[in-house]
Amino acid sequence: MEPVVVDAGSKLLKAGFAIPDQAPTMIIPTQMKRILDDGLTDNSSLEEITVDPVVRGFVKDWDAMEDLLHHVLYTGLGWEIGNEGQILMTDPLSTPKAVREHMVQLMFETFNVSGFYASEQAVLSLYAIGRISGCTVDIGHGKIDIAPVCEGAVQHIASKRFEIGGIELTKLLAQQLQSSNPHVNLSTSDVEKLKEQYACCAEDQAAFEKTVLSCQREQHTLPDGQVITIGRERYAVGEALFQPSILGLEEHGIVEQLVRSISSVSSENHRQLLENTVLCGGTSSMIGFEERFQKESNLCSSSIRPSLVKAPEYMPENMTNNSAWMGGAILAKVVFPQNQHVTKADYDETGPSIVHRKCF
C-alpha cells in the first residue's frame, strides 16, 4: 500500500496516496459541521454548529482534527483498522514544536500508523517543480508565507509570515459589494463564490486607478434570485496584495516583501532563490495575478528581481493549488523506502520529540 499524503489547510484538506504526477484523491473542506443532540428524537431539536480544526494554517481543535482525519483515512482512502499504513503530513511555515509533537502523537497513539514523516510546505512546493532551492510565496486562505529555501532547508530567519489571506480578501469584497449593492443580502458563501469567479488583478497600479473612472460592470444572479452588480470591486481584491493599505494595513506589497526576504539571505544564494521563485496557494491562481507579480518584480529598483518558475508540463494543471501535496507525494517515495521516517519503534523509544530529530 502506498503511503498517504495529507495537506490540511485552513480552507481545504488534500489527501491521497503518494502518486506524484496525479492530483490528490480527496480535496474537501477543512471546516466541519457538528450536530449538538439534546437527546430528543425530534430532528428539529438538533443544533448544527461550525467547527474549524485548522485556523491560519495551524491545528487549533484537535478533537475535530481527529474526526476529520478518521473520515479521510478510513472512509475516504479505505484504510482498515488494524492495518494502517504510512503517512506524510505537510507542515506550514513556522509550525510550533508543540503542534508537530501533538500530530505525531495522534498518528501513532490514535491512528496506529506504521510510519510517519512531516515536511514543510515551502520545501515540498519546490520539490513539486523539481527544485531543492528557491523561494515560495504561498497565499493561503488564512495566511501568506514567504520562505527562501536553500538545498532543501527553509531559511527561517529570512522567512516572513503574514496573518492575512483569502479570508481578508473575501471580507474586503463583501464590504465593497455591500456598499455598491446596499439592498442585497450576501452570505460569506456567496462572496467566496463571487471572488473565485470574478476577482482579478489589474495590469499595474495605474490600470487599477483607471478603474475608478471607467470599469465594465456585470450583473450576477445569486442562488436565491437576488441580482448583484460587480464592477471595480473585482480588481480591489487582487490589488490589495500589492497595496495592503486597501486592507487598512501598513505593510509593503507582496513583491517588496519577497525582495526583502531574499535580501536577508547570504548574497551567494541570491541567484538560485531569484531564479526559482514559486507561487502557490489558492489565491495565487487569481486571473492576472501571476502576470502582475512578474511585472512588479521586473520593476524592482534593487538588483534583486525575482523570476517565476513554471510547473513542468507533465504535472496536473492545478499545480498551483496542490503543489505542497504533490511535493509530499514525491518525498514520500524517498523517505519511506529508505527508512528515513519515524517508525513505531522510534516513537516508543523517544516519544513525540522524535519528530524534531527525524523530520526536518
The CATH number linked to 216 is 3.90.640.10
45 pLDDT higher than 80: no
Determine which of 1-5, 67-71, 297-301, 350-354 has the lowest per-residue pLDDT on average: 297-301
Give the pLDDT confidence score for residue 35 in this predicted structure.
78
| C-alpha separations of 120 from 100, 130, 213, 315 in Å | 11, 16, 45, 20
Final residue of a structural domain among 207, 228, 246: 246
Mean pLDDT across the chain: 92
Domain assignment of residue 290, yes or no: yes
41 pLDDT higher than 70: no
Domain assignment of residue 306, yes or no: no
In terms of domains, do 34 and 18 share one? yes
In terms of domains, do 93 and 109 share one? yes
Domain assignment of residue 311, yes or no: no
Which residues does 199 contact at the CB level (< 8 Å), separation at least 6?
169, 173, 234, 237, 238, 286, 287
262 pLDDT higher than 80: yes
Domain assignment of residue 200, yes or no: yes
21 pLDDT higher than 90: no
In terms of domains, do 71 and 15 share one? yes
Phi-psi category of residue 177: left, alpha or beta, with phi > 0 → left and psi -120 to 50 → alpha: alpha
CB atoms within 10 A of CB 127: 22
In terms of domains, do 15 and 95 share one? yes
pLDDT band at 213; cut points 50, 70, 90: confident
**In the predicted model, what is the mean pLDDT of residues 119-145?**
95
In terms of domains, do 233 and 140 share one? no
Domain assignment of residue 339, yes or no: yes
Residue 154's beta-bridge partner residues?
149
207 pLDDT higher than 80: yes
C-alpha cell at 264: 536577508
Report how far residue 279's alpha carbon sits from residue 8's, in angstroms, rounded to the nearest whole number: 18
Judged by DSSP in three states, 13 sits in strand
User: How many Cα neighbours within 13 Å face the side chain of 270?
Assistant: 12
Q: Which helix (H) or strand (E) segment is 323 a member of?
A: helix 319-335
Domain assignment of residue 310, yes or no: no
Give the pLDDT confidence score for residue 301 in this predicted structure.
67
pLDDT band at 158; cut points 50, 70, 90: very high
Judged by DSSP in three states, 11 sits in coil
Amino acid sitting at position 53? P
The CATH number linked to 49 is 3.30.420.40
44 pLDDT higher than 70: no
47 pLDDT higher than 80: no
What are the pLDDT digits (tens) for 61-113? 999 999 999 999 999 999 999 999 999 999 999 999 999 999 999 999 999 99
Determine which of 28-42, 153-167, 242-256 has the lowest per-residue pLDDT on average: 28-42
Number of domains comprising the chain: 3
Q: Across the chain, which distance is largest between two alpha carbons, in Å?
A: 69
Report how far residue 193's alpha carbon sits from residue 180's, in angstroms, rounded to the nearest whole number: 18
pLDDT band at 212; cut points 50, 70, 90: confident
Give the pLDDT confidence score for residue 46 in this predicted structure.
67
C-alpha cell at 261: 526576504
In terms of domains, do 181 and 64 share one? no
C-alpha cell at 10: 485552513
Domain assignment of residue 206, yes or no: yes
Give the pLDDT confidence score for residue 193 in this predicted structure.
94
Report CA 357 to chain centroid distance, whole Å. 25
In terms of domains, do 43 and 76 share one? yes
244 pLDDT higher than 80: yes
43 pLDDT higher than 60: no
Report how far residue 108's alpha carbon sits from residue 342's, in angstroms, rounded to the nearest whole number: 10
Domain assignment of residue 214, yes or no: yes
Report CA 17 to chain centroid distance, whole Å. 19
Instruction: State the burial class of residue 156 (Cβ atoms within 10 Å of its Cβ: 0-12, 13-18, 19+).
Output: exposed
In terms of domains, do 239 and 264 share one? no
Give the pLDDT confidence score for residue 36 in this predicted structure.
73
In terms of domains, do 12 and 86 share one? yes
Domain that holds residue 234: 166-246
42 pLDDT higher than 70: no
What are the pLDDT digits (tens) for 312-360? 777 777 778 899 999 999 999 999 999 999 999 999 999 999 999 999 7
Among residues 286, 279, 144, 295, which one has the least CA distance to residue 201?
286
CB atoms within 10 A of CB 25: 16
pLDDT band at 170; cut points 50, 70, 90: very high
In terms of domains, do 200 and 273 share one? no
In terms of domains, do 241 and 280 share one? no
In terms of domains, do 196 and 69 share one? no
